[in-house]
Amino acid sequence: MLLRVAVNTPLRRCFDYLAPADHRGSAPLPGTRISVPFGHRREVAILLETPARTDAPPAKLRRAHAILDATPIIPADMLSLLRWASEYYRHPIGEVLAAALPAALRHGASPAGGRTGWRLTAPGRAADPDTIAARAPLQARMLTALGRCDPTGLAGEELRGLGASVRPALRALQAKGLIEACSLPSSLPEVIRSAEPGPELTAAQREAVAAIRADFGSFMAFLLFGVTGSGKTEVYLELAREALARGLQALVLVPEIGLTPQLVRRFERRLATPLALMHSGLGDRERLESWRAARSGQARVVLGTRSAVFAPLPEAGLIVVDEEHDTSYKQQDGFKYSARDLAVLRARRERIPIVLGSATPSLETLHNVYRGRYRRLDLPERAGCANQPRIEIVDLRHHAVQEGISTPLVLRIQGHLERGGQVLLYLNRRGFAPTLFCSECGWIANCLRCDAHLTLHRSSHQLRCHHCGAARPPETACPACGCEVHPVGEGTQRIEDALARLFPAAPALRIDRDTTQRRGQIEAKLEAARRGEARILVGTQMLTKGHDFPEVSLVGILNADQGLFGTDFRSSERLAQTILQVAGRAGRAERPGEVLVQTLYPEHPLLRKLVTEGYEPFARAALEERRATSWPPFSHLALLRAEAPTRQAPLDFLERARGLAPGAANGIALLGPAPAPMERRAGRFRAQLLIQAAARASLQRLLSDWVGQVALLPEARRVRWSIDVDPVELF
DNA sequence: AGCACGCCGACT
DNA sequence: GTCGGCGTGCTC
């Protein structure tokens, strides 16, 4: 019997093995774990099929060590989705499967049951801890503790509190036959008895729920297009409740930064059901626990970030993707999948409805609505009678600006503070100033390893590179001419300083990656902000995603221009989404909100459209622009990237790769090779080749042969390269 | 990607 | 005489 398996390696192929010597009976099913010898190592591989014959030379064919599961660890439908994704994103199947499974399962953990722990054996129960207390006090304490929890047992972590070297003590007790490993019940949190009632739904919310409910049991993709504050989460909760009532599981995906303790508590309280959480902050053990809870059906709701799209759900009934426009759904390294796109595909294959929620949907999703692929549901009103904030543009060419804050904004801040409102200022730049500059000779503080300026961080007295992390003390004088150097531009630190001078009576709070490095710090800060301890909040992205500040009545966007003329075709879409997401923080309670957007280009047509007419007219205009210029969603992209310690190697590799591609046919254009917009990063030179195709199918046809050939190029060995299908970042 | 093999410089 | 630099080749 032959076993064709996927091994966790970057190789773009499968490997065939003979069944283990002791194997009897029928063939194992695809998705089963197989322990195999691989080179000089032992690997846990995943069975893909049991072919009748193999092309492998007989001399190389080896025997698998063991078949590890009686039933597949990956169900057939998930395995098929993953194989499809491996093909579509051109990523090696072994790594795709590895990304979809908790690492612990590749290290021999059991897919079933609860956590492993320790409990007393019969001799252990009979033993008297006091007899060993003198020579082995830790072992004695363990026996006592396990005696109290007999026969359930205790987890290793629970025993850790008893002393320093827990592991050897456990091993000694096990060797004496006093304790044994056992399986513990799952550690899901205590379920709250009764679900807390939610607010009464608005008419629009009720309509949305009814429309989606009518499609339970079949595939349909919905765009829940709800302005910020319209209560999309209430719709998700109601739908999840409906799924639970029907005995189905719900999968809720949120952006990286959106999975906050408040959101988890809200789901727990309102649904009164065990949740499985899946996010990057989990350890191997916790990840395994969540995976088990989802797979056993014990968890009825799975709440997670990107990778939760691969959660096993035996009774899947509904998928929700909140803030579907968020770019964190696209994995940026390794297996570069889009969790949002795979979620839609998963819903289609499992014949269940999927809800994509956003106040600022991606142009791709809107395009799918306009051409009838997705059904649209609107939540046009803010829940709880708050009005939409009014957005105004401040022309930076016609107003004095001190430290990045224009006079009209200063006056407006003053007004709102006097009336007791809270003010939020958004600036997508950390640090004190974007760089240090000599006005005599033009010298600029540059990173030695990147094509980037160093950012001045005054509080830590450092120049830091935000791209490679390098840091050094700032120059006191220009190294080129000896003249004085000055910080140029504004970062959040500098704004914070400026505010302290402009509004000494109003305490300000800065929230960015620099002030919230420790875990829980951001929660504490947000809580302080919500309690109104700070009158002015200054922050980056972190401040804007999903957090509510009911007392904020004025929002200032300090540097809109970065997004207006960015390097890629998505810049204006991003800017619009950022402006509206930040604006959404204003006026959530009864107070109407005001938003001021500072710009040097108040006449920019898309910005005007956004401010005067709103997101959708903006989006329609932006889509027209995309159509005219043949960018996605009116074309389909793949990006071949390469990097190496020399400038030439990536370009040579990409040039050879380009030469392997069939000539410009089938509406396919090859753009490049060209150096990346930031050519040098962390000491490596980067370049890229963009493939643009009129149709997804022709792009896939090209990639299917080409990527394999590219991988075999001798030049490929001299660079680090990767392919990104449907790239979100073009640098 | 790992990992082993292999072939040339500075140390005991 | 060996430790170890990273080029090259392989993983059923």
Tens digit of each residue's pLDDT (9 = 90 or more) over A84-93: 999 999 999 9
Confidence of residue A192 (pLDDT cuts 50, 70, 90): low
pLDDT at A366 > cutoff 70? yes
- Nucleotide closest in space to A40 (CA vs C1'): B3
Confidence of residue A533 (pLDDT cuts 50, 70, 90): confident
The answer to whether strand B lies under 7 Å from the CB of residue A11 is yes
pLDDT at A342 > cutoff 90? yes
- Read off the pLDDT of residues A624-675 as tens digits, 9 standing for 90 and up: 999 999 999 999 999 999 998 888 889 989 999 999 888 666 789 999 799 9
Q: How far is CA A36 from the centre of its chain?
A: 32
pLDDT at A529 > cutoff 90? no
The answer to whether strand B lies under 7 Å from the CB of residue A41 is yes
The answer to whether strand C lies under 7 Å from the CB of residue A11 is yes
- The radius of gyration computed from the CA coordinates of chain A, to the nearest angstrom, equals 29
Closest residue by Cα to the C1' atom of nucleotide C9? A717
Q: How far is the CA of A230 from the C1' of B1 (A)?
A: 47
Residue A274 CB partners (closer than 8 Å, separation 6+): A188, A189, A191, A293, A298, A299, A300, A301
Mean pLDDT on A450-458: 86
The answer to whether strand B lies under 7 Å from the CB of residue A647 is no
Q: Between these two residues, A282 and A122, which has the higher pLDDT value?
A: A282
Closest residue by Cα to the C1' atom of nucleotide B2? A9
pLDDT at A712 > cutoff 90? no
| pLDDT, position A518 | 65
| pLDDT, position A223 | 98
Q: List, in sequence order, the alpha helices (H) in A503-570.
A: 521-531, 541-544, 561-564
pLDDT at A7 > cutoff 80? yes
- Nucleotide closest in space to A721 (CA vs C1'): B1
Q: Between these two residues, A718 and A204, which has the higher pLDDT value?
A: A204
The answer to whether strand B lies under 7 Å from the CB of residue A532 is no
Confidence of residue A396 (pLDDT cuts 50, 70, 90): confident
| pLDDT, position A590 | 61
Q: How far is CA A293 from the centre of its chain?
A: 21
The answer to whether strand C lies under 7 Å from the CB of residue A39 is yes
| pLDDT, position A721 | 93
The answer to whether strand B lies under 7 Å from the CB of residue A666 is no
Q: How far is CA A463 from the centre of its chain?
A: 29
pLDDT at A189 > cutoff 60? no
Strand C near-CB residues (< 7 Å), A 61-100: 61-62
The answer to whether strand C lies under 7 Å from the CB of residue A54 is yes
Q: How far is the CA of A640 from the C1' of B11 (A)?
A: 45
Least confident of A305-319, A376-390, A429-443, A458-472: A376-390
Question: How much is the mean pLDDT over chain A?
Answer: 88
Q: How far is the CA of A683 from the C1' of B7 (A)?
A: 30
Tell which strand B nucleotides have any atom below 7 Å from a protein Cβ.
Answer: 1-4
Task: State which H helix or E strand residue A681 sits in.
Answer: strand A668-681
SS3 (DSSP) at A4: strand
Confidence of residue A180 (pLDDT cuts 50, 70, 90): confident
pLDDT at A562 > cutoff 80? no
Mean pLDDT on A514-524: 72
| pLDDT, position A663 | 67
How many Cβ atoms are within 10 Å of A729's Cβ, its own excluded?
13
- Read off the pLDDT of residues A597-615 as tens digits, 9 standing for 90 and up: 998 888 888 989 999 999 9
Q: How many residues does chain A have?
A: 731
- Read off the pLDDT of residues A283-313 as tens digits, 9 standing for 90 and up: 888 999 999 999 999 899 999 999 999 999 9
How many Cβ atoms are within 10 Å of A372's Cβ, its own excluded?
8
Mean pLDDT on A676-681: 88
Q: How far is the CA of A718 from the C1' of C3 (A)?
A: 27
- Nucleotide closest in space to A9 (CA vs C1'): B1
Report percent pLDDT > 70 for chain A.
Answer: 95
Q: How far is the CA of A682 from the C1' of C6 (A)?
A: 21
Least confident of A189-193, A219-223, A590-594, A717-721: A189-193
The answer to whether strand B lies under 7 Å from the CB of residue A39 is yes
Q: How far is the CA of A449 from the C1' of B12 (A)?
A: 38
Report percent pLDDT > 90 for chain A.
Answer: 45
Confidence of residue A584 (pLDDT cuts 50, 70, 90): confident
Query: A3, A44, A45: which is closest to A20 by C-alpha?
Result: A3
Query: A116, A529, A101, A5: which is closest to A335 by C-alpha?
Result: A101
Tell which strand C nucleotides have any atom below 7 Å from a protein Cβ.
Answer: 8, 10-12
The answer to whether strand B lies under 7 Å from the CB of residue A9 is yes
| pLDDT, position A324 | 97
Could you give the dihedral angle defined by the CA atoms of residues A658, A664, A667 and A670, in that order, rounded to the nearest 10 degrees? 30
Closest residue by Cα to the C1' atom of nucleotide C8? A717
| pLDDT, position A567 | 75
pLDDT at A191 > cutoff 60? no
Question: Can you give the three-state secondary structure of A620-674, one letter per residue?
Answer: HHHHHHHHHHCCCCCCEEEEEEEEECCCHHHHHHHHHHHHHCCCCCCCEEEEEEE
Closest residue by Cα to the C1' atom of nucleotide C10? A39
Is A594 exposed, middle or buried, given 0-12, 13-18 or 19+ CB atoms closer than 10 A?
A: buried
- Nucleotide closest in space to A38 (CA vs C1'): C11
The answer to whether strand B lies under 7 Å from the CB of residue A123 is no
The answer to whether strand B lies under 7 Å from the CB of residue A542 is no
Q: How far is the CA of A338 from the C1' of B11 (A)?
A: 54
Q: How far is the CA of A4 from the C1' of B7 (A)?
A: 37
Mean pLDDT on A356-385: 91
- Nucleotide closest in space to A4 (CA vs C1'): C12
Least confident of A60-74, A181-195, A356-370, A451-465: A181-195
Hey, which residues does A487 pair with through a beta bridge? A436
pLDDT at A41 > cutoff 80? yes
